[in-house]
Amino acid sequence: MEVAEKKALKSIAIIGNPNVGKSSIFNQLTGLNQKIGNYPGMTVDKMVGQVHVGEKHFELIDLPGTYSLYPKSEDEIIAHKVLNGLGVEKPDAALVVLDACNLERSLLLGTQVIDLGIPLAFVINMKDLAEKRGVNIHTFALYQQLGVPLVMTDARNNQGMEAVRDLFQKENFEVGKPFHKMGFPDLLDEVKREFKLATDYQAFQQLIFADFDPLLPLDQQKWLKDQAKAHGFDGMEQQARETEQRLSQIKALLSSTDSSGKGIPKKFHAALDAVFMHPVWGYLTFLAIMLIIFQAIFAWAETPMDLIDGAFAAASGWVSETFPPGVLTDLLSEGIITGIGGVVIFIPQIALLFGFLAFLEDTGYFSRVVYLMDRMMRPFGLHGKSVVPLISGMACAIPGIMATRNISNTKERLITILVTPWMSCSARLPVYIILIGLTVPDQSWMGINLQALALLFMYLLGTAFTLLGALALKYVLRTKEKSFLMTDLPIYRLPRWQTVLLTMYNKSKVFVLEAGKVILAISIVLWVLASYGPSGQMEALEVEKERALEAATDNQKHELASEFASKQLEASYIGILGKAIEPAIRPLGYDWKIGIALLTSFAAREVFVATVATIYSVGEDVEDELTIREKLDKQVHADTGEKVFNRATGFSLMVFYALAMQCMSTVAVVYRETKSWKWPLIQTIGMTIVAYLGALVTYQIFI
């Protein structure tokens, strides 16, 4: 039964140039029925949606936006593999979205897809703009020449979508007339035979992609290269030739069908660009927009984050009170529920940031930011497109790293991912505030508050290391890709709320489902390490605690509880580990208690405050920063009688938290974005080493 159902569901790939409204059409057709998956061995996400038209159901595969089928980045490799059914199931048909105002450019990709021999239909989108500009498009004449059904739409305003649904309903996808005749017939025949391909163009693509497809077996790669060599086939030369000939054929086609149109010049909203792209105002507006976004994230994310925090704390409390005490209850209440809470807590920040980013992207403003910032980023081995991830990193590295998706150069994207966690994120703030309060006097120097100055310095330190780190990586990482900037600056349009909301939803979903697993796993491991110790010690402490509590008066109970919390943490595996690393962290000015806090705060930096409060038995009321600070200020080393949190140790700790990874969620998201454990591991180890050295130098200077 299920098999029969599966067969009835046809899959259709949707492809088009960037900025033609392809995702608009995809969203209109599928709505919330979208799923994000993986292409094996690739970092690009696979977006699949369900379309229901009448009684029929289709699976719509959203291919990345591309100008042609030539290999330049993973985007094109995926388009190539999907459309030819290489290593993935071949779709039954393709829907190619064309830009009504840029038919020549869109048809380059469109006719390439025709020549692959897959049944298809064209959607000519943005007909509203074309009409405004007086561009004529004769769809019937085009249909006669190309043999492919065409419909005109204005997807933004939901016009013509009925015609698209009608295409699905009637399954009106046709194999077009072969458009471009390729050279090298013998060579292409051999490739066709070897790979069991149907058309010359598929064979041509197979030859071109021989160098680029990471999943093509080596022997096949070699075979293709040998054949190309034997026939004197030069891939790059042939691509250029094909593009040129194809474009002149398209020109002829458009004039013979009277479709080129003599449109009046595009209205560019030049007034907007006069400000947004201005050498001074452009940067100031960008800065202002970013400030507004930050303000909004801090202001709007706080309430939902507090609610989530409270809800999970309540759930955890309810479980531990309701169920019989034991290992399973503890695991559920303190391990799993707290762990899930640690994942969900990021949703407000992620959703808000991506809401704003989608808004700016959809208006067309973003490519202006790339234009403005590219020059500043280049000396550091970064791209204009790295700016938004890095700035987002000042709120939280997680959405920042997730926003590196559109950097097409692998090296620049990787550098951006690797250095973004050095931007000073909001989780460092509680750590800085406690430590600055302990070590920097609340005095003014030339009218500037020293504590504020110290905080500013920490932010600058993070930014400096981000840029220097990028600079260093620029020389370390190797790539054969050349960096370039070639981007369309689309006209400004009003954003579509559907797109904005769907982006917020999808990004949050990806984070929870994919990074969430890793975060949950690590947090359970950390919980076990912090709650259990070697044979019987914890149990002995528990018995001792019960006895002490029985004997105590009500006034003493609170103090006793925090005292035993501290003892239990000391006796746990993580406490033992903290003691074990003490010789290593001694030169940084830390004792084993701080060592334990370093270990537990690998979950997230702000955990440092809570752990320090527990281990110095400050009490469980960690919300009260002033109390923690006062009590920590009184801590002295048992052997020397010196203050634990003196200036050198405080500064050293701040530098450590500025530079160390100390965030398992970031590790998880880097794993998810690079699809391998190699980079998150290198990054974590590298950052820890740099943090260690930075803290060491700081301590030795100030001691």
Partner 1 sequence: MTAAKLKPRQTYEIDSLSVTPLLVRMMEMGILPGKKISLFKKAPFNGPMAFLIDGNIIALRIEEADLIQIKEA
Which residues contact partner 1 (rule: CB under 8 A)? 67-68, 70, 72, 101-102, 104-105, 108-109, 236, 239-240, 243-244, 247, 263, 265-266, 268, 273, 277, 279, 367, 370-372, 374-375, 384, 482, 484-490
Minimum separation from the CB atom of position 371 to partner 1 (A): 5
Q: Answer for the pair 417, 670: CB distance below 8 angstroms, yes or no.
A: yes
Minimum separation from the CB atom of position 70 to partner 1 (A): 6
Residue 371: CB atoms within 10 A of its CB come to 17
Nearer to partner 1, 208 or 398 (CB): 208
Minimum separation from the CB atom of position 271 to partner 1 (A): 13
Tally of residues, the chain:
703
User: Whole-angstrom Cα distance, residue 392 to residue 402?
Assistant: 10
CA 441 to chain centre: 40
Q: Answer for the pair 466, 423: CB distance below 8 angstroms, yes or no.
A: yes
289: Cβ–Cβ under 8 A, 6 or more apart, which residues? 360, 365
Nearer to partner 1, 180 or 517 (CB): 180
Minimum separation from the CB atom of position 137 to partner 1 (A): 15
Nearer to partner 1, 388 or 565 (CB): 388
Nearer to partner 1, 90 or 266 (CB): 266
Minimum separation from the CB atom of position 262 to partner 1 (A): 11
Nearest to 124 by CA among 248, 253, 25: 25
DSSP element (H, E) containing 51: strand 45-53
User: Whole-angstrom Cα distance, residue 64 to residue 235?
Assistant: 23
Nearer to partner 1, 238 or 320 (CB): 238
User: Whole-angstrom Cα distance, residue 132 to residue 247?
Assistant: 25
Nearer to partner 1, 11 or 487 (CB): 487
The CA-based angle 248-256-258, given to 5 degrees, is 110
Minimum separation from the CB atom of position 108 to partner 1 (A): 6
Q: Answer for the pair 627, 619: CB distance below 8 angstroms, yes or no.
A: yes
Nearest to 609 by CA among 454, 434, 436: 434
Minimum separation from the CB atom of position 487 to partner 1 (A): 5
Residue 62, SS3 per DSSP = strand
DSSP element (H, E) containing 670: helix 664-674
Here the tokens at position 324 are 């019989």
Residue 596: CB atoms within 10 A of its CB come to 28
Nearer to partner 1, 62 or 374 (CB): 374
Task: Tell whether the torsion through CA atoms of 490, 360, 98 and 41 is positive or negative.
Answer: positive
> Left if phi > 0, otherwise alpha if psi is -120 to 50, otherwise beta: which for 381?
left
Minimum separation from the CB atom of position 259 to partner 1 (A): 15
User: Whole-angstrom Cα distance, residue 67 to residue 368?
Assistant: 20
Nearer to partner 1, 352 or 373 (CB): 373
Letter for the amino acid at 176?
A: G
Minimum separation from the CB atom of position 138 to partner 1 (A): 19
Nearer to partner 1, 71 or 399 (CB): 71
Minimum separation from the CB atom of position 77 to partner 1 (A): 15
Phi and psi dihedrals of 95, rounded to 5?
-115, 115
Nearest to 434 by CA among 652, 608, 636, 664: 608
46: Cβ–Cβ under 8 A, 6 or more apart, which residues? 36, 37, 38, 39, 61, 78
| Alpha-carbon torsion, ordered 410, 395, 473, 652, to 10 deg | -160
Residue 576, SS3 per DSSP = helix
Minimum separation from the CB atom of position 645 to partner 1 (A): 45
Nearer to partner 1, 243 or 562 (CB): 243
Nearer to partner 1, 204 or 590 (CB): 204
Nearer to partner 1, 18 or 430 (CB): 18
Helix axes 428-439, 450-476, angle to 10 degrees: 130
Minimum separation from the CB atom of position 243 to partner 1 (A): 5
Nearer to partner 1, 244 or 321 (CB): 244
Minimum separation from the CB atom of position 256 to partner 1 (A): 18
DSSP element (H, E) containing 284: helix 281-322
